[in-house]
Amino acid sequence: MNRPILFNGSMNMQIKILDKVYECENQIAAVGAIFDQVQQLLTQSNTSLSSFEIDGVKLYSNYDQYIVEHIENIKIVVIHVKTLKELMDDTLSSINEYLVRAIPEIDKMVDEFYQGASQNTWDKFAQLLEGLQFIIDSLNTIGDNQHWYYNASQLGLVKQDILRQIVMLQVAMENEDRVKLSDVLLYEIIPTFRALIKEITVNNDYGQVQ
């Protein structure tokens, strides 16, 4: 195992990532210097941070704050990484969960638009637009790495449908046409969400091309 020793003096913290073990003093500056090297290693290995394990405590976010608060006592930091493909697998799983939750909410939103939208309705609609953009960004990444999934072309078609539907929603909003907005949600967005669920499920059931 490669074991770079980067600092002299009292070295009582270990930072482990991939096949490397870094050692440094329990000082913010020292840890920060090693994290700069960790970032370079991530870039070189085409991986990304997944989670931190600090003296047995698993962290998926706010790890920097935790390190600052416990800097004097930390002994071992284990940095877990994932490949970009593994991260995308996780993202698709999260998108699938979002879609399942979103469909009944969109049904409710459609009824509200037909009856007269409240501020809460528009707030939910804004959240839907954010969700659509996140899905587009994720499918763009798959489009750039089509060898990851054997049905990448089908996922690309779903992306094109969503892009077209976003334009339809924007036009309906500009025209203040709540009926058209409701129709797009009911007859376009919901079927597309179901199609995307199907494609994600196919990947889960039949495996993924690496």
How far apart are the C-alpha atoms of 199 and 8, rounded to whole Å? 54
State the average pLDDT over residues 113-122. Answer: 90
For residue 10, what pLDDT is reported? 52
Residue 65 reports pLDDT greater than 80: yes
- Strands 57-59 and 76-83, bridge-based pairing: unpaired
Lookup: tokens for 19? 């096949």
Cα separations in angstroms, 44 against 7, 40, 41, 79, 204 = 23, 6, 5, 16, 29
Q: 177 by DSSP, 3-state: which?
A: coil
Read off φ and ψ for residue 19, nearest 5 degrees.
-100, 20
Contact 15, 38 (CB under 8 A): yes
Whether the CB-CB separation of 155 and 149 falls below 8 Å is answered with: yes
Give residue-wise pLDDT tens across range 120-177.
Answer: 999 999 999 999 999 999 999 999 999 999 999 999 999 999 999 999 999 999 998 9
Can you give the pTM of this predicted structure? Answer: 0.79
**2 pLDDT exceeds 60?**
no
CB 189 within 8 A of CB 106: yes
Match 């990448």 to its residue by tokens.
152
Quick one: CA torsion of 83, 87, 89, 95, rounded to 10 degrees? -170
